[in-house]
């Protein structure tokens, strides 16, 4: 077994896979039907039929099919979420975005409230379900423009025991999106598409497998959808509500400008991800009720 994993690691390393050893072990666990594999405790010799099944999985990863698509799941914070082709795979850097939303919901729940949290562009439901499971008092609404993402989020909500999570199909910035929640929301959080049209992702796992709908933000700077998120948040948030939105590290100034351009937001700031890169817009809804510049 160890020799097979060592060989797979070499194959994946030569193919440019960023974490060849981790992926080789994960694929071996998947082939064995295990949640994880400790090589020191692995069956040796390998069970009959394991080697060809494992080789087929390694070949798929060698050709840069995402590991998450091969094993059918992805870890996000404390959750294991089902993933599938056609729906954006959640990334570890987005866990920091979820943390900001969780922290605000925890603060409001500790004060005796039942915070209302909206996750726009939810994908697999990662952020929405993290909030729902980590802050049981929260009421959570998840929205995505993809029917496949909406269906997957509903399945993940049921599988994770997230409770009563409302999942809606809708386009951010579309007329009447969540109109029943205008001015009532405590937290709007989003990891929207934000890649500019001329900035093709380098990693094949992203470029060739994540859907364009979840990658490219529209407009020459990729910020059409993020601006729609900001405008929609200005409409949905009640006074003092919080907006948290992921963006590319080169978009921090433009994202702050977009939030500041509407009088709806105060305390507009950029926060860093775990590597210190500016990746998150955080802004507080003003208390005077103005929503100048909003078109959502």
How much is the pLDDT for 21?
Answer: 96
Residue 41 has pLDDT above 70, yes or no: no
Same domain, 36 and 138: no
Q: What is the structure's pLDDT at 293?
A: 44
Which pTM was predicted?
A: 0.91
The verdict on whether residue 197 carries a ligand-binding annotation is no
* Range(s) of the domain holding residue 53: 2-63
Convert the pLDDT of each residue in 179-228 to its tens digit: 999 999 999 999 999 998 888 788 888 888 888 888 889 999 999 999 99
Question: What's the pLDDT at 290?
Answer: 57
Task: Give how many domains the chain has, as a whole number.
Answer: 2
Whether residues 59 and 91 fall in one domain: no
pLDDT in tens, 162-175: 978 999 999 999 88
Residue 191 is assigned to a ligand binding site: yes
Same domain, 93 and 38: no
293 domain-assigned: no
Distance of CA 218 to CAs 55, 56, 62, 87, Å?
Answer: 40, 38, 32, 18
Same domain, yes or no: 108 and 54:
no
| pLDDT beyond 90 at 62 | yes
pLDDT confidence of 129, banded at 50, 70, 90? very high
Same domain, 91 and 210: yes
- The alpha carbons of the chain give a radius of gyration, in whole angstroms, of 21
pLDDT at 34 over 80: yes
- Is 144 labelled a binding residue? yes
Q: Is 156 annotated as a binding residue?
A: no
Q: Is 193 annotated as a binding residue?
A: yes
Q: Collapsing DSSP states into helix, strand and coil, what is residue 285?
A: strand
Measure Cα distances from 124 to 62, 84, 85, 280 in Å: 25, 9, 11, 20
Q: What is the mean pLDDT of residues 113-129?
A: 97
């Amino acid at each position: 077994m160890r020799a097979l994993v060592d060989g797979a690691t070499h194959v994946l390393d030569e193919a440019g896979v960023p974490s060849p050893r981790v992926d080789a072990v994960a694929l071996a666990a998947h082939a064995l039907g295990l949640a994880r594999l400790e090589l020191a405790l692995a069956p040796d010799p390998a069970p009959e039929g394991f080697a060809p099944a494992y080789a087929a999985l390694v070949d798929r990863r060698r050709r840069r099919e995402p590991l998450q698509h091969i094993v059918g799941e992805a870890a996000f914070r404390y959750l294991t979420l089902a993933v599938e082709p056609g729906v954006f795979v959640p990334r570890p850097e987005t866990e920091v975005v979820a943390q900001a939303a969780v922290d605000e919901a925890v603060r409001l729940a500790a004060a005796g409230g039942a915070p209302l949290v909206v996750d726009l562009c939810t994908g697999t439901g990662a952020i929405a379900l993290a909030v729902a499971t980590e802050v049981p008092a929260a009421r959570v609404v998840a929205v995505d423009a993809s029917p496949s993402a909406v269906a997957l989020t509903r399945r993940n909500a049921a599988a994770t025991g997230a409770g009563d999570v409302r999942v809606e199909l809708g386009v951010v910035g579309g007329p009447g999106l969540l109109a029943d929640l205008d001015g009532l929301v405590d937290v709007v959080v989003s990891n929207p598409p934000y890649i500019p049209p001329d900035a093709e992702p380098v990693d094949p796992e992203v470029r060739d497998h994540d859907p364009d709908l979840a990658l490219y933000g529209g407009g020459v700077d990729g910020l059409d959808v993020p601006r729609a998120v900001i405008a929609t948040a200005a409409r949905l948030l009640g006074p003092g509500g919080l907006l948290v939105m992921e963006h590319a590290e080169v978009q921090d100034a433009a994202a702050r400008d977009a939030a500041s351009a509407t009088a709806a937001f105060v305390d507009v700031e950029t926060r860093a991800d775990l590597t210190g890169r500016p990746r998150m817009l955080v802004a507080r809804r003003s208390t005077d009720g103005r929503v100048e510049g909003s078109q959502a």
